[in-house]
């Protein structure tokens, strides 16, 4: 019933926007950060390994912590949830995706209009001369040896283009995400606990101008009471089922 209702809401929308979090990528083998059963922050203090202060003073702490995650992300493939969203975008039923994820799996699945508000693993920037590089040329060596990537121009440390704690979100991308929310008549929250600001405020902004909302997440969120539909099942099963209901 909820699958059919969700499919109908999406079919009848004019500008559907997806807000995705770590839960959409866990079926691809990428651990989330905040769950109470295996979340990364259960084992690590984020301010000790993934803050801007730590990176500036002791970048090796970040790179030693991030190395296994980088390998997992590099080897991960999109799961059926990513593929379903990409197909719905291709067919014109979803217009934009705002993601908190840095794993590029939406793009690997074929999605085109993706706003990565927490950054991406695709690029790196020199901390000294600010020259930009594609991560691919450094990634294999870093994963295999643990060697910290250095700028080919000035030999200073390269920082992955992911947003660390204490770091401001990328302004241009955030503005595009905010515009997407302003334009949407349907917001579909998938795999996000909506605990991290300022992204957690986006659903309020959507509701403020009358957008409808679907939440597909295993655990409750602070805004469940305002949602039109809530589904607590595996995204890798739910999203393909919704897509099938729309496309058939």
Residue-level pLDDT, tens digit, the chain, 248 residues: 899 999 999 999 999 999 999 999 999 999 876 554 544 545 667 788 889 999 999 999 999 999 999 999 999 999 999 999 999 999 999 999 999 999 999 999 999 999 999 999 999 999 999 999 999 999 999 999 999 999 999 999 999 999 999 999 999 999 999 999 999 999 999 999 999 999 999 999 999 999 999 999 999 999 999 999 999 999 999 999 999 999 98
CA–CA separation, 69 vs 162, rounded Å? Answer: 13
Which pLDDT does position 42 carry in this prediction?
57
Asked if 115 is an active-site residue, the reply is: no
CA–CA separation, 169 vs 163, rounded Å? Answer: 7
Q: How far is CA 152 from the centre of its chain?
A: 29
Question: What single-letter DSSP state applies at residue 99?
Answer: E
Which pLDDT does position 41 carry in this prediction?
47
Q: Which two tokens stand for residue 60?
A: 């090796």
Contact 32, 190 (CB under 8 A): no
- Would you list the DSSP string of 18-63? EEE-GGGTGGGT---SS-TTT-HHHHS-HHHHSBHHHHHH-HHHHH
Which pLDDT does position 68 carry in this prediction?
93
**Beta-strand relationship, 186-190 and 212-216:** parallel
C-alpha distances in angstroms, 189 versus 17, 171, 226?
A: 9, 22, 12
Q: Which two tokens stand for residue 70?
A: 């980088």
Which pLDDT does position 44 carry in this prediction?
62
CA–CA separation, 105 vs 172, rounded Å? Answer: 21
Which pLDDT does position 39 carry in this prediction?
46
Which pLDDT does position 45 carry in this prediction?
78
pTM of the entire structure?
0.94
Which pLDDT does position 36 carry in this prediction?
46
Query: Which residue among the candidates 82, 106, 118, 209 is catalytic per the annotation?
Result: 118
Domains (ranges, CATH) in the chain? 1-30+78-118+169-248 (3.40.50.1220), 31-75+122-162 (3.30.1600.10)
């Amino acid at each position: 019933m909820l699958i059919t209702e969700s499919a109908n809401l999406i079919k009848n929308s004019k500008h559907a926007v997806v807000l995705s979090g770590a839960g959409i990528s866990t079926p691809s083998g990428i651990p989330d950060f905040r769950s109470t059963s295996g979340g990364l922050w259960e084992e690590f203090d984020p301010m000790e390994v993934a803050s801007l202060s730590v990176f500036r003073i002791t970048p090796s702490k970040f790179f030693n912590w991030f190395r296994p995650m980088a390998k997992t992300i590099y080897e991960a493939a999109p799961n059926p949830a990513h593929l379903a969203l990409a197909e719905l975008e291709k067919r014109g039923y979803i217009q934009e995706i705002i993601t908190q994820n840095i794993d590029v799996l939406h793009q690997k699945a074929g999605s085109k209009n993706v706003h990565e508000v927490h950054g991406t693993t695709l690029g790196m920037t020199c901390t000294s001369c600010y020259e930009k590089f594609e991560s691919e040329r450094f990634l294999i060596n870093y994963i295999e040896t643990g060697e910290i990537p250095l700028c080919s121009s000035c030999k200073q440390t390269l920082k992955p283009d992911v947003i660390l704690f204490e770091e401001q979100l990328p302004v241009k991308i955030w503005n595009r995400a905010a515009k997407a929310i302003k334009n949407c008549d349907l917001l579909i929250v998938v795999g996000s606990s909506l605990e991290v600001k300022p992204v957690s405020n986006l659903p309020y902004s959507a509701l403020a101008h009358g957008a409808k909302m679907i939440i597909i997440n295993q655990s409750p969120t602070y805004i469940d009471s305002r949602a039109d539909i809530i589904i607590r099942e595996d995204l890798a099963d739910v999203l393909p089922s919704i897509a099938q209901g729309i496309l058939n």
